[in-house]
Amino acid sequence: RWGYSTNIAWWEIMSEIDNIGCFNKNDLNSTESQSVLTFEHLLYCYFKSKDPNHLASASCSNSSYNDDPNYNDDFYNLHKYGISENLNRTRAERVGHFINKPDNQKRPVIYGEAAEDIAELNGKIEGCDRISFHNMLWATTMMGCAGSGLNWYWAPLYYAGYFSEMGPLSSFMEGIDFESTKYISNEYKLWPLESFQMRDDNKTLGMGWVHDRTYYWYSVTKAHDTWGTCLGELDHDGGDPSDVQTCSDYIYNNVAINGFKSSFWRQHYYKFSWYYTSINPPLSGIPYYYGSSTQGTNWLGEIRLITPLMGQSYPDWAYKLNYIGTDKSVQNSTETTIITPVI
C-alpha cells in the first residue's frame, strides 16, 4: 500500500473476486463464475510469465472462490472484517479450512486485508485505540498464516503511531527458523481466554499467544473514556457501553494445549519462556522477556499452561516452548516450577 516502496510482496490480480457482480458465490460451476475464474487464471499466467519471482493471487472475502478444485494461485489471500469479540477465532477457523486441504491443494494462507470494521464506521475503531491492531497481529501470526495480517486502514494507524505494535512481535520472532521447521497450528478456547498456538512436527518446539478475549475495542474504548469522543454512540451487538465488563487480574492454570509428547510411560517436560507483547514492557536483559516455567505433559500429550498474571495491565502474553527431556524424580504430570520474572 506504500506507493513509493519498491518492495513488492505479491501481485494481487483481483481484489475480492467473489464480490464481482456476476460471480455466483453459491455455484462455482455456473457460467458466470467460470467466466470470471477463467479470466483470473489468464491474468495469473500473464503476471507469472512477466515476473516469476513474485507470488500472485486474487483475494476473496468469502471462502467459496478458494474452494474451486482448479484453484492455481500461489497462495490463499483472505479478507476478513468485523466488530465481534469472536473475530480472530472466526479468522482462525477460515485458516484451518485451508491448511487442512488435500496435499495437492495446500498453499500458504495470509490475510491480505484484516480490520475491526463495518461499512458505516470506515476505520474509526482502528484509529481510536491500538488494541484491535495489536490483537490482529498476534492472532493471525499464531494461527498458521504465512505472516501477520495486513490492516486495510494504514492511515489512521500511521498517524496514531500504532505501527509500533510491530516491534514486540518482530522481536519475538527473531531467530525462529520457519524455513527448515514446519509448524502446525491449533486453537484453544476457554472463557474468557483464547489461545492460538503452533508446534513443530517433532513436538519439540512451539510458540503461542494467550489473550483475554473480553479485552478488545469495545471494552477498551469504554474503559478509556474514548467511546463518545471517538466512536460516537455506536451500538454493539444490541448492547449498551455501560454493560461492558472490566477485566480483573488473575492467573490461569487450565489452558490446555495439545499435540505434544505423551507422558503415558514416562514424564516429558517443556520449558516455557514468556514474553510481554506490550510496546512498553518493564526493562529486562532480553527484550520483552518476562520469565520461564517448566511444565510436564499428561498421558494425552496435553500441557496445562500456567500463565503469568493477566488483567488490564497485561491482558495477553506470548510464549515459546522447548522440549527439555524427561525427569524420573518428578512423578506428577501437572507439577510445574513457579514462573520467575526477570526484573
Instruction: Please report the sign of the dihedral spanned by the C-alpha atoms of residue 204, residue 209, residue 213, residue 214.
Output: positive
At 266, list the grid cell.
514416562
Give the Cα separation of 332 and 338 in Å (integer): 15
pLDDT for the residue numbered 109:
93
DSSP lists the bridge partners of residue 310 as 250
Per-residue pLDDT tens digits for 78-130: 999 988 888 999 999 999 888 888 887 889 999 999 998 876 677 778 888 88
Side chain identity at 306, as an amino acid letter?
A: I
Q: What mean pLDDT, rounded, does the chain reach? A: 82
Which residue from 64, 58, 23, 22 is spatially nearest to 41, judged by alpha carbons? 58
pLDDT for the residue numbered 261:
94
Q: What is the CA radius of gyration of the chain?
A: 22
Cα–Cα distance list, 234 to 25, 167, 220, 226 (Å): 31, 31, 14, 12
Of the ranges 69-73, 175-179, 196-200, 246-250, which is most confident?
Answer: 196-200
Side chain identity at 289, as an amino acid letter?
A: Y
pLDDT for the residue numbered 222:
65
